[in-house]
Amino acid sequence: MTQIYAPPRPDSRRKRRAPLAVLAGTVITAGIIATVVLTTSSDDPKQRDLSDGTQILFAVTAPLADASTTCTAGTLADDDHTLVVDMAGEEMGTGAATIEDVLCVLAELEAPQAILARMESTRALDGMQSATWSTYEVTWNYHPDDGLDLIITNLP
């Protein structure tokens, strides 16, 4: 005698759970978004308005501008993509930055020690020198009369 078994019926409970899980995930996501939107104050200093009235919650900072402000050194140019640091030399009117200002800016930008060593060993006869690290390029020259002058560029 042969016995025939019927194929197992699909569990109908599993079919009902999938749409409920999707719905629950959607509700949770909407709740998180609503919480962020409702708790964000327009008085937040990190929030800025764009020209069309759209608000940015977290503004992108300009590292060169931050370094210039922190160290109170250098002149910004090219929409904060270039920082020129003009160190004082032996002649009058050659610049206002000190070696401490230069070192502060380079520390803020996390310049490698190898670049600092190259700058320290630059002679007037060496002419314009350059180096890159991270997203920065620095060119510099040194003369006792003019001091150490740096041009730091934030690369794209």
Domain ranges of the chain: 12-56, 63-154
- At 37, give phi and psi (nearest 5°): -65, -45
Task: For the beta carbon of residue 82, count every other beta carbon within 10 angstroms.
Answer: 16
d(CA 19, CA 58): 35
User: H or E stretch including 119?
Assistant: helix 113-120
Q: What is the pLDDT of residue 6?
A: 63
Q: What is the pLDDT of residues 5-42, one digit of tens each?
A: 666 666 555 555 667 777 777 778 777 877 776 665 55
Is 0.75 topped by the overall pTM? no
Average pLDDT over residues 77-100: 90
Residues linked to residue 143 through DSSP beta bridges, in sequence order = 147
d(CA 143, CA 129): 12
d(CA 86, CA 154): 18
Q: What percentage of the chain reaches a pLDDT higher than 90?
A: 52
Q: What is the pLDDT of residue 46?
A: 43
d(CA 59, CA 61): 6
Could you tell me if 68 and 83 are in contact, meaning their C-beta atoms sit under 8 angstroms apart?
Answer: yes
Tokens 């931050």, located at residue: 66
Q: What is the pLDDT of residue 34?
A: 72
Beta carbons within 8 Å of 22's beta carbon, 6+ residues apart = none
Beta carbons within 8 Å of 14's beta carbon, 6+ residues apart = none
